[in-house]
Structure 1
Amino acid sequence: MLAIQNLHIEFGARVIFKDLSFTVHPKERIAFAGHNGAGKSTLMKCIAGILKPNGGKLSKPKHCDIGYLPQEGIHIHGITLWDEVESAFAEAKAMQKDIDEMSEKLHHLDPRSAPFSDLLNQIGELELKLHDADPGLIKPRMESVLTGLGFKRSDFTRDCGEFSGGWQMRIALAKLLLAQPDVLLLDEPTNHLDIDSQKWMESYLVNYPGAILIISHDLALLDMLTTRTMAFHHGRAEEYAGNYSFYVKESVLRKEIQLKLYKSQQREIKQTKDFINRFRATASKAKQVQSRIKQLEKIEVIELEEDDAVMSFKFPNPPASGQSVAVLEKACKSYGKINIFQDFDFEVTRGERLAIVGPNGAGKSTFCRLITGQEEPDSGTHTFGHKAAVSFFSQNHADELDPDITVLECAESAASRENAPLARNLLGCFLFRGDDVFKKIGVLSGGERSRVALVCMLLRPANFLILDEPTNHLDIQSQEVLQNALKDYPGSYMIVSHNRSFLDPIVTKTLEFRQGHAPRTFAGNITYYLEKIEEEKNAAKGVAAAAPAPNKTSTPGVNRKEQRRIEAEQRKKRNDVLPPLKRELEELEKNIAEYEAGQATLTTHMSDPETAGDSDKMQQASAAYQVLADKLEKAFSQWGEVSDKIEKLEAELSL
């Protein structure tokens, strides 16, 4: 499908790749691995046609489409979300428009004329091409992808310019997934997704019909999705026939084998040199000495590559806090009509390791600002415990750095006197090495500024850390540095993140925020939390038809008589409203199946040479196919609306 041959890329004196060659086959899932700066994104831009290589070539079939999602930098405005995403189907829309225009022309032509027959054949060819695009499924597919990525139906008519940078990337991802290019290039696609949207995307990518090339620092995603890994290191690429975990194990094994070969060769070279030096002046051994010299010259010396320096960071012992670090009591918070918290009680205790999860906009960042005292609740109280010292890393901290100072000056100014000597080492841990520390903050990319802000936060003495998406701009090695430091950290911390492989080993409790529901705590890590959520969903499906347990619908503050009245009203509403909706849903599903079967029959009929040669039959079949396509689109739209109503009612009635 795609062939990269002898690719050569360089920036000034620095060679990124030299003679890089590999192929991509249909439906392959390939991970690009390697530290930041190894050339992964550069290679992806070359494949996408954005960057021109210095040498070599990329070959692909004529009709092979390549789609690319960059890490950041997409800004769309002046068009609604729906219209922007719908443009992914521009080709199908154009074909449908041509069919409509040609069909209109048919009415003004003599059915027995040659122009009529030619036009009818053109319509037939376009109908067959359009069938592969399933025009009747365009609207429901768009709704499915947009809601899966976290957009609400009320967002569909909003201008794209109203959405933040992270949501802009979701718009680009939605459009790309719907376009379904033959080769999908994804550069850190989960950076801007919450845990629900990430799970949806993972499921979507597993069933994606084309090939996928992906760069990600989310190990769980790579292990679940990919079956081949391209590892980039010192301008070279090595292939591994497995996912990321396979690559890690196999690379260690390859290094061990290489080391053994190197030692064996060095022994052989030493023995040969010793023989030459010993018998160089012996006439009877002259022929053998010359033979050994020639043998030595022909040896292709094995060179061991130096591993990247593995840096480590250990938090200085923070001042000891009291048992209670921070407390919210009866906290309420609203923004206009949007209620975030209502009578929310929460306590952070000494040594707590907490993950914070939930969809964007559910209240995670608001909670962080409240628990750190940066923002006051509308009512209720917030108090810090004895000797609590807070350090907070948020995404907007990167924008507050002084652009006129160097990276090193920024880190040293943020550090305490005791931690100042650690600044240079910690910057190295987070990819600022050598002369990089003397760059001005103003010339750094957004990701680089985020890493500087994280370093500054870690250098401040604190016994209570709050980290908001700390791994978004870290490569896997830097993630491991931070993860290992947090494992040994004696204070308390809370981390907002969707990165399961990063969180699972270092958190013991999960706090979930979800719109319309009170925050909930789960006594385990992210994997435990996801298992519990799945169990809840399965349990809800299993008892959906059964009456709820008495305590399920119990309402605080009412007597038993009033409680029975409330339950009776719920039963009446359930019996009056849900059954008709479910019958309507079943009828729609039946109609959809019939329409799809009818389209398949008509497609076969139009492909028949006898039909294609008969203009009247072809016109009738084409008109019938269009009628079914319109009915199918309407049925799918109704099906989505009815499904939403049922889901909403079941949630309200605690089914």
Structure 2
Amino acid sequence: MSLLTITDLTLRIAGRTLLDEASLSVDPGRKIGLVGRNGAGKSTLLAAIAGDISPDGGSITLSSRATLGRVKQETPEGEQSLIETVLAGHLERTALLHEAETTTDPARLADVHDRLLAIDAHSAPARAASILAGLGFDASAQQRAVSDFSGGWRMRVALATALFLNPDLLLLDEPTNHLDIEATIWLENWIRNFQGAAIIVSHDRSLLDSTVNAIAHLDRGKLSLTPGGYEEFVRIRTEQALQQNRAAERIATQRAHMQSFVDRFRAKATKARQAQARLKALERLPQIDSVIEDTPTRFAFPEPSQLPPPMMTMEHVSVGYDGRVVLHDLSLRLDMDDRIALLGQNGRGKSTFAKLLAGRLTPMAGKFQHSPRLKIGYFAQHQGDELVLTETPIDHMARAMPDALPAAVRAQLARFGLDAGKAESRVGDLSGGEKARLLLALATRDAPHLLLLDEPTNHLDLDARDALIRALSAFEGAVVLVSHDAHFVEAVADRLWLVENGTIQPFDGDMAAYRGWLLERARRAGDGEENRSIGETSARKDARRDRADQRKTQAPLRKAARAAEALLTQILQDRKAVEARLADPALYDRGDSREITRLNTELGALNAQQEAAEERWLEAEAAIEAANTQ
């Protein structure tokens, strides 16, 4: 029997139809990732399931006696401690405890104690404390008032309350938005062990791959279910798209052939009946969409000039605020081929270190040197607050590039998918993801040698995150990033640095090792044991070093491939223009044989150039592939 049944559901917001007779069934214990483009209606669907909004058609049926949990949109407030706030969120337990203290009916008292036993009420404080600890609150923080914490930390308390309820169906809408990578890894593990069902809206690919067993795709008002995690969903959708494109090409050919017949013979009486039959056949041909995404997402970073090593060095550096040291005794080095991710809980100094590298903080002690020609691009997670909402992206970029021509300003915005329409829109009208694209465009306008990325994926959807990964893979400068997205870290970083206990040390392992270390440390802390040291096998060290060396070796090969591809694109455009002129009947009506000969000669030369460019591109790609297999 299904836990949740959605039948022919229709939802409209402000006259716009988000779901159109969509259906979905959720069995007990099943965990489903809900994906779709921004604005498709994912959060609206969760609100309808929770009963916050009423359907415009169809039905949503939750099994009788089933409990539902979700993170409330409003953050908790008041002087209650964190642990008290989480415990109070279990309304049934709170009511039963109150009744156990006030009822005088022995029979009712027995029933109350039976129910308290059934919901495992006696272990509630320990379970609540464990959840809060996993989300980053130590024992002392759990006893502090909710009002002591910022909005982001309060959202963690709201998440802790939803998890503590241990419901039959859990609804999570971007649960990792306010979490660091440590809390995100803990949450992944918690959801995997959760016995109830869950519907999870998330742009965190690692979360979707590690926790769900099906993906529900909300597209054009309909819901389709695909078994497996997000990676399997992408594989199946890609395969479907290829088949769809091939079918679209076949149908387009059929349509063109039939339409040609109809146009030629529609007026001839002897062919009229057959023409009508062809028209009816045309109407019966299916309308097949050739793509699954509205617009493919692409990012491109400007190519930096080369700097001699070392790009940046620090010896026994200390840094902090207002005389208070946050990080001390930093002796580190950065070069142009470095790809480093900073790990560690929020508040440990990751953003402080990024500001030091960006030159926004001055060292309090030690020696800090860098190349005088070094250019730095800095993306900070709170920079969106500095944007002028009444201005356009063009206004912002023109101010940041005062000497650039308008075409160069627009080209830099276009690198990050801000086309003419978006570039001329008010910033206040842009989505969170579009604002993030603007900030990336601003950060990279000078072709920086070093990119500092502090939570760059916060407002990017899954496609945009993949596009950013591809762009960073092609980028030939250094990258230092802070991100709660484990998949993003794994795909971009070659080295991991752990920010902890007021300093920064290399973590000689991959994200899988870091996950294991965190979970083991949490277990040992629960057992009262000492934290174990950080380490890994020499094989992992060698593998990480090999990745960095491989990228450095492949840089000229990738550059050659890009140059050949650009040349090939230009040749194909030129050839298309020549072919269009040769296909123009007016050329032959004029009888201009000299022009016809010249165009045919030019076409022959372009064909030869295309063949040579294709050969160069294939050679470059083969060299890259050979380097990958070494």
Please indicate the TM-score interval, normalised by the length of the shorter structure: 0.7 to 0.9
Match of residue 507 from structure 1: 493
- 1:493 is paired with a residue whose SS is strand
Structure 2 counterparts to residues 101-180 of structure 1, below 5 A: 101-102=102-103, 105=104, 119-180=105-166
Would the alpha carbon gap of residues 75 and 315 (structure 1) be closer, same or farther in structure 2, given more than 3 Å must change?
Answer: same
Counterparts of 2:405 and 2:117, CA distance in 1:
66
Counterparts of 2:422 and 2:256, CA distance in 1:
41
Return the match for 1:20 from 6, 11, 22. Answer: 22
Compute the displacement of 1:280 (Å).
7.5
Counterparts of 1:54 and 1:377, CA distance in 2:
60
Would the alpha carbon gap of residues 40 and 373 (structure 1) be closer, same or farther in structure 2, given more than 3 Å must change?
Answer: same
Match of residue 453 from structure 1: 439
Compute the displacement of 1:36 (Å).
2.1
Would the alpha carbon gap of residues 385 and 529 (structure 1) be closer, same or farther in structure 2, given more than 3 Å must change?
Answer: farther
Is 1:365–2:351 an aligned residue pair?
yes
Counterparts of 1:286 and 1:138, CA distance in 2:
81
Structure 2 counterparts to residues 205-604 of structure 1, below 5 A: 205-266=191-252, 297-305=283-291, 307-333=293-319, 340-415=326-401, 417=403, 421=407, 424=410, 427=413, 435-442=421-428, 449-515=435-501, 518-522=503-507, 525-527=510-512, 529-530=514-515, 533=517
Compute the displacement of 1:122 (Å).
2.3
Report if aligned partners of 2:76, 2:158 keep a CA contact under 8 Å in 1: no
Structure 2 counterparts to residues 603-618 of structure 1, below 5 A: none
Would the alpha carbon gap of residues 398 and 268 (structure 1) be closer, same or farther in structure 2, given more than 3 Å must change?
Answer: closer
- 2:383 is paired with a residue whose SS is helix
Which amino acid in structure 2 is aligned with residue 121 of structure 1? A
Would the alpha carbon gap of residues 75 and 431 (structure 1) be closer, same or farther in structure 2, given more than 3 Å must change?
Answer: farther
Would the alpha carbon gap of residues 377 and 305 (structure 1) be closer, same or farther in structure 2, given more than 3 Å must change?
Answer: closer
Which amino acid in structure 2 is aligned with residue 189 of structure 1? P
- 2:20 is paired with a residue whose SS is strand
Match of residue 551 from structure 1: none
The Cα offsets for residues 412-436 of structure 1, whole Å up to 9 and x where unpaired, read as 3234655964655665676756644
Counterparts of 2:254 and 2:430, CA distance in 1:
50
Which amino acid in structure 1 is aligned with residue 206 of structure 2? A
Compute the displacement of 1:73 (Å).
6.2
Counterparts of 1:200 and 1:69, CA distance in 2:
17
Compute the displacement of 1:479 (Å).
1.4
Compute the displacement of 1:523 (Å).
5.2
The Cα offsets for residues 146-197 of structure 1, whole Å up to 9 and x where unpaired, read as 1111101111222222212321221111011001232212122122222221
Counterparts of 2:432 and 2:272, CA distance in 1:
67
- 1:360 is paired with a residue whose SS is coil
- 1:504 is paired with a residue whose SS is helix
Structure with the bigger RCO (C-alpha within 8 Å, sep 6+) is 1
Would the alpha carbon gap of residues 273 and 395 (structure 1) be closer, same or farther in structure 2, given more than 3 Å must change?
Answer: closer
Report if aligned partners of 2:320, 2:352 keep a CA contact under 8 Å in 1: no
Say what the alpha-carbon RMSD is for the aligned residues: 3.5
The Cα offsets for residues 282-307 of structure 1, whole Å up to 9 and x where unpaired, read as 99998877666655555554454564
Report if aligned partners of 2:497, 2:507 keep a CA contact under 8 Å in 1: yes
- 2:366 is paired with a residue whose SS is strand
- 1:324 is paired with a residue whose SS is coil
Match of residue 75 from structure 2: 74
Compute the displacement of 1:387 (Å).
1.1
Report if aligned partners of 1:5, 1:58 keep a CA contact under 8 Å in 2: yes
The 10-residue stretch of structure 1 (455-464 or 24-33) with the greater mean CA deviation from structure 2: 455-464
Compute the displacement of 1:355 (Å).
0.8
Would the alpha carbon gap of residues 339 and 647 (structure 1) be closer, same or farther in structure 2, given more than 3 Å must change?
Answer: farther
Would the alpha carbon gap of residues 271 and 315 (structure 1) be closer, same or farther in structure 2, given more than 3 Å must change?
Answer: closer
Report if aligned partners of 1:29, 1:212 keep a CA contact under 8 Å in 2: yes
Match of residue 59 from structure 1: 61
Report if aligned partners of 1:185, 1:212 keep a CA contact under 8 Å in 2: yes
Counterparts of 1:426 and 1:15, CA distance in 2:
35
Which amino acid in structure 2 is aligned with residue 35 of structure 1? R
Which amino acid in structure 2 is aligned with residue 522 of structure 1? F
Q: Name the larger-Rg structure.
A: 1
Counterparts of 1:304 and 1:99, CA distance in 2:
64
In structure 1, stretches of 5+ residues that fail to align are 106-118, 542-642
The 10-residue stretch of structure 1 (120-129 or 141-150) with the greater mean CA deviation from structure 2: 120-129
- 1:355 is paired with a residue whose SS is strand
Would the alpha carbon gap of residues 299 and 84 (structure 1) be closer, same or farther in structure 2, given more than 3 Å must change?
Answer: same
Would the alpha carbon gap of residues 290 and 183 (structure 1) be closer, same or farther in structure 2, given more than 3 Å must change?
Answer: same
Match of residue 198 from structure 1: 184
- 2:136 is paired with a residue whose SS is coil
Counterparts of 1:375 and 1:165, CA distance in 2:
25
Return the match for 2:8 from 6, 9, 14. Answer: 6
Tell me the TM-score normalized by structure 1. 0.72
Compute the displacement of 1:130 (Å).
1.8
Counterparts of 2:526 and 2:264, CA distance in 1:
88
The 10-residue stretch of structure 1 (82-91 or 256-265) with the greater mean CA deviation from structure 2: 256-265
Compute the displacement of 1:85 (Å).
1.2
- 1:646 is paired with a residue whose SS is coil
Compute the displacement of 1:269 (Å).
5.2
Which amino acid in structure 2 is aligned with residue 519 of structure 1? I
In structure 2, stretches of 5+ residues that fail to align are 534-630
Is 1:646–2:534 an aligned residue pair?
no
Return the match for 2:170 from 184, 198, 203. Answer: 184
- 2:359 is paired with a residue whose SS is coil
- 1:340 is paired with a residue whose SS is strand
The 10-residue stretch of structure 1 (280-289 or 305-314) with the greater mean CA deviation from structure 2: 280-289
Counterparts of 2:271 and 2:362, CA distance in 1:
91
The Cα offsets for residues 552-609 of structure 1, whole Å up to 9 and x where unpaired, read as xxxxxxxxxxxxxxxxxxxxxxxxxxxxxxxxxxxxxxxxxxxxxxxxxxxxxxxxxx
Is 1:86–2:87 an aligned residue pair?
yes
Report if aligned partners of 2:79, 2:145 keep a CA contact under 8 Å in 1: yes
Tell me the TM-score normalized by structure 2. 0.75
Counterparts of 1:393 and 1:175, CA distance in 2:
32
- 1:505 is paired with a residue whose SS is helix
Match of residue 46 from structure 1: 48
- 2:311 is paired with a residue whose SS is strand
The Cα offsets for residues 102-141 of structure 1, whole Å up to 9 and x where unpaired, read as 2xx2xxxxxxxxxxxxx33322332222222111101100
Counterparts of 1:346 and 1:506, CA distance in 2:
20
Report if aligned partners of 2:300, 2:416 keep a CA contact under 8 Å in 1: no
Match of residue 99 from structure 2: 98
The 10-residue stretch of structure 1 (519-528 or 454-463) with the greater mean CA deviation from structure 2: 519-528
